[in-house]
Amino acid sequence: MPLKINFKKVPKALKIVTGILAIILAAAFIVRQIPVNEIELSYSTRDISSKAIALTFDDGPGKYTPRLLDILNEHEAKATFFVTGKNTEKYPQYVKRAFDEGHLIGNHTYNHIDFYKSTFDEVKNSITMGEEAIEKAIGEKPIFLRAPYGNATTIQLKLLDRAFVQWSVSSLDWLIEDSDFVYERILSTAKDGAIILLHDTRKTTIDAVERAIPELQEQGYELVRVDELLTRNGDTIKSGKLYKSCKADF
């Protein structure tokens, strides 16, 4: 006997759930249709066969950034700085120094805007203004973008058309200002391919990193820029994508 559904008898709640599901599926389908573009990196990246970690520093530059750059130099370690446009305008010489010393400069928007609480135009403007501030300081636009708080929806990722970098490990240095805690946290979560979130706006973080870098190197980790980590397997960088580590198994 063929199955006949009398829609009048379908409970209202079921109709609502089905309707919501249909909307979600349609939205997911539309998002998938937005093309993902390959980004040509304007610099060469190295093949890394040893264990590698990317230390990333957000929200700066700040007054502690020169000391961090000294520490990185001393240990021949490379890092990535996701700077805000506002602080780049305040300390352009620190951003230029980091760039000249071989570190990667990424955009963290102009004013640390929360994508979840802002209109699309506000987010877009803040990203563009951040890129312009960086370009003024170092002479080139950044390729990578980190959304403040890691807040970005799938549709925003696609429509903003940038290469987004998140993290596989948060040092929690923004929450617990204790250098022993941050040091322990870095060492206990260190893993090949990790991208570690830190902030060079905090003295406790710089103190922790000063102790952690030689220890990590002692354990055989190479400290590299995010672009080197993400392309170590021969992958190309794509816009509209969110990168959290160099492997998918984090």
Active-site residue list = 58, 199
- Residue for token pair 């002479």: 139
Least CB distance from residue 63 to Ni ion, whole Å?
17
Contact segment (CB under 5 A) with Ni ion among 57-65, 114-122, 157-165, 236-244 equals: 57-65
Q: Name the CA radius of gyration of the chain, rounded.
A: 21
Residue 145's SS3 state is strand
Least CB distance from residue 147 to Ni ion, whole Å?
9
Element spanning 58, H or E = strand 51-58
Task: Please choose, from the candidates 31, 28, 29, 40, the residue with its C-alpha nearest in 3D space to the C-alpha of residue 239.
Answer: 40
Least CB distance from residue 197 to Ni ion, whole Å?
9
Distance CA 17, CA 168 (A): 34
58 touches Ni ion by CB under 5 A = yes
173 touches Ni ion by CB under 5 A = no
148 touches Ni ion by CB under 5 A = yes
Contact segment (CB under 5 A) with Ni ion among 54-62, 136-144, 158-166, 178-186 equals: 54-62
60 touches Ni ion by CB under 5 A = no
Phi-psi region of 172 (alpha: psi -120 to 50; beta: other; left: phi over 0): left
The residue among 107 and 231 lying less far from Ni ion, judged by its C-beta, is: 107
Nearest position to Ni ion, beta carbon: 58
Q: Which two tokens stand for residue 120?
A: 């699309």
Contact segment (CB under 5 A) with Ni ion among 65-73, 145-153, 189-197, 242-250 equals: 145-153
Contact segment (CB under 5 A) with Ni ion among 25-33, 43-51, 59-67, 180-188 equals: 59-67
Please count the residues of this chain forming the interface with Ni ion, following the rule CB under 5 A: 3
200 touches Ni ion by CB under 5 A = no
The residue among 156 and 231 lying less far from Ni ion, judged by its C-beta, is: 156
Q: Are 152 and 242 in contact (CB under 8 A)?
A: yes
Q: Are 205 and 171 in contact (CB under 8 A)?
A: yes
Distance CA 163, CA 146 (A): 8
59 touches Ni ion by CB under 5 A = yes
Distance CA 147, CA 165 (A): 8
Binding site for Ni ion (CB under 5 A): 58-59, 148
